[in-house]
Chains A and B, each alone.
Chain A
């Protein structure tokens, strides 16, 4: 049971929705690993990936997920499309809608753009990241990775570190991990903390030692230099010195703490390269693997509702 027409954000999902999705994703993760062919539950459905922002890993992850489940997948390179000719987002949406796709996967550089688009089309929309707002499948794949490694997804201490202000990954993770009753800490320089975020989580600090103390999970974020308009940090070397994760700083966390990163990494800026490759602590490759499984699950759940409509009133509707 997944009572939603779209997946626009973690906000609006219930703990039960999240568990349903993760349980299904877990099955796909095992199937993917063992090489067992999954049932083509998306057979006959058309999935369009619309990426208004460059992406390699998320787009290919969605593409593989769709193809493994038998969907006809089409990628639209939005930079080269009519958007560049001045067409508005809504006109593009209406044009696509007229072609009757079933699943629309959208990434857009502006917060709220995917919600806007979802309100204009008849198909199921999956948010693949909008501005600084949400990136739900990333939070879900992080949650699945944590659950596999820690055996549970509750009562864990999780430090989210780095560029919180520009990160949709941080926002979705804060909401999801809070919803599942974990202790979430934000760690980073004050210039990279959005004003008012203290209302969303209980703990904030600009000291890595304090922030990582007894953490079960250390989630590093990419320093989003392309979203910055200058002057958030004095230099990358000072940032690395104070906030970059290395083995020394990781000692403050629990002995069995895991290190996560949504990628792509800036090695030597927010994370030490050796640490990122250390298979004893780093789960970064597993995150990528879980990404495909989570996206298969999300698309399957939404596709089930395409035929019947959401089971109950949709809290996630735009």
Chain B
């Protein structure tokens, strides 16, 4: 049976347009769209609110297996649905590390049982994240791994990395890297600068990001592997990315919503909910990242959802765990950039939906016939004050607690089935 969403403002990242129109879907797939009179039949009136392809979030951490007390597939999926995320691309930094087809299959089975939104897993690039031997990239790909990553533990040995890259290139596998030079970054809790000097915390220079990116890009040039940097967050690294793209290397880059909307000053009073990896940057670097997103240099925005329980955060800043939950706050926080006039809605959804889909070779992320009916209906203007206790994630470690935000998801459809409605 065909359902039509009528009277919606269609946010189309493919054509970069926002028009009032309708979208029909049937059997989990978009069948037709238009801006003229909608077809007859059952319909849902969107009342002029925005309709966009669902968010594809690359780099979500879920605590299964190993840390279910922090987040399970069930709670993460509930948060995702409420946040407009229709596909979670999960990180392999589980316990144990997702580095064998068996662990991967276990996680996928749990996801299928518990998650109403799509889950696509990433697998480890080296066994146990040890940076010594590559994983069974072929088997893991066959089992469903969409990308290979050692999460936030970059492979230090260039020989190991170059071999893994060569092997992955032969399988046309995507590598997702965390470009932060590990020896410089070790023990760092903040980005170096006047504010860190005042707080007396161990620091790392943003140059650590550029150094590791430059090394990785040299190996990409050597091996031809498809390479995605999980988060670029500072001007010095973005310059390097720009050159690499101009050179035609198979490189893409993401950034996190936190680095787009917060800066190092938010760490005032040692608030550990603002401790993320890499640490929050200066306002200049934040603006450079926002501009790179607006002009398309940065391809992907993700939540880098990292659940941490109260015990791992209620510690002195240096000892506290890094990371923040963001599945539910990703869209409202990103909309802050739209409201501030830095970018328009289609550009935002290129980074949230279309580009991640392209990167992973998915048909989703578009509002075109044939694409899966992964759709979100949202009101970009709806104001609210975030109360972290209302978050659906099992862990409530959000830096946006108490913040005034604008923009809420009203309905979420995954393969044409409504999984969330406000």
A interface residue numbers (CB < 8 A to B) = 11, 88-90, 108, 110-113, 115-116, 130-134, 168, 171, 194-200, 229, 318
Determine which residue in A112, A116, A131 has the highest number of CB atoms from chain B within 10 A of its CB, and name it.
Answer: A112
Stretch at the interface among B45-53, B241-249, B308-316, B332-340: B308-316
Contact check, A197 vs B194: say whether CB atoms are below 8 A apart: yes
**With A133-B199, A134-B200, A171-B200: A111-B194 Cβ-Cβ less than 8 Å:** no
A-contact bits for B297-317, CB 8 A (1 contact / 0 none): 000000000000001001111
Q: What A residues does B201 contact at CB under 8 A?
A: 111-112, 131-133
| In the complex, B133 has a CB within 8 A of chain A | no
> 4 shortest A-B CB distances, which residue pairs?
A112-B270, A132-B200, A199-B194, A133-B200
**Contact residues of B: prevailing secondary structure:** loop
**With A89-B315, A108-B316, A111-B317: A116-B270 Cβ-Cβ less than 8 Å:** yes
Determine which residue in A196, A198, A318 has the highest number of CB atoms from chain B within 10 A of its CB, and name it.
Answer: A196
Cα(A89)–Cα(B311), bound, Å = 10
Q: What are 9 A-B pairs with beta-carbon distances under 8 A?
A: A89-B316, A90-B314, A110-B316, A111-B200, A116-B270, A194-B196, A195-B193, A196-B196, A199-B194
Q: What A residues does B195 contact at CB under 8 A?
A: 196
- Separation in Å of the A138 CB from the closest CB of chain B? 14
Q: Give the residue of B187, B194, B314 whose beta carbon is less than 8 angstroms from that of A196.
A: B194
- Separation in Å of the A130 CB from the closest CB of chain B? 8
Q: Give the residue of B193, B314, B317 whose beta carbon is less than 8 angstroms from that of A112.
A: B317
Cα(A28)–Cα(B155), bound, Å = 60
For chain B, the count of residues having a C-beta within 8 Å of the partner chain is 23
| In the complex, B221 has a CB within 8 A of chain A | no
Cα(A133)–Cα(B270), bound, Å = 11
Contact check, B314 vs A110: say whether CB atoms are below 8 A apart: no
Determine which residue in A132, A134, A168, A194 has the highest number of CB atoms from chain B within 10 A of its CB, and name it.
Answer: A194
Q: Give the residue of A111, A171, A195, A197 whose beta carbon is less than 8 angstroms from that of B318.
A: A111
Cα(A229)–Cα(B184), bound, Å = 12
Q: Give the residue of A88, A89, A229, A318 whose beta carbon is less than 8 angstroms from that of B187.
A: A229
| In the complex, B192 has a CB within 8 A of chain A | yes
| In the complex, B222 has a CB within 8 A of chain A | no
| In the complex, B16 has a CB within 8 A of chain A | no
Cα(A195)–Cα(B317), bound, Å = 19
Q: What B residues does A196 contact at CB under 8 A?
A: 192-197
**With A112-B317, A318-B269: A195-B200 Cβ-Cβ less than 8 Å:** no
Contact check, B317 vs A200: say whether CB atoms are below 8 A apart: no
Q: What B residues does A108 contact at CB under 8 A?
A: 316
| In the complex, B422 has a CB within 8 A of chain A | no
Contact check, B194 vs A110: say whether CB atoms are below 8 A apart: no
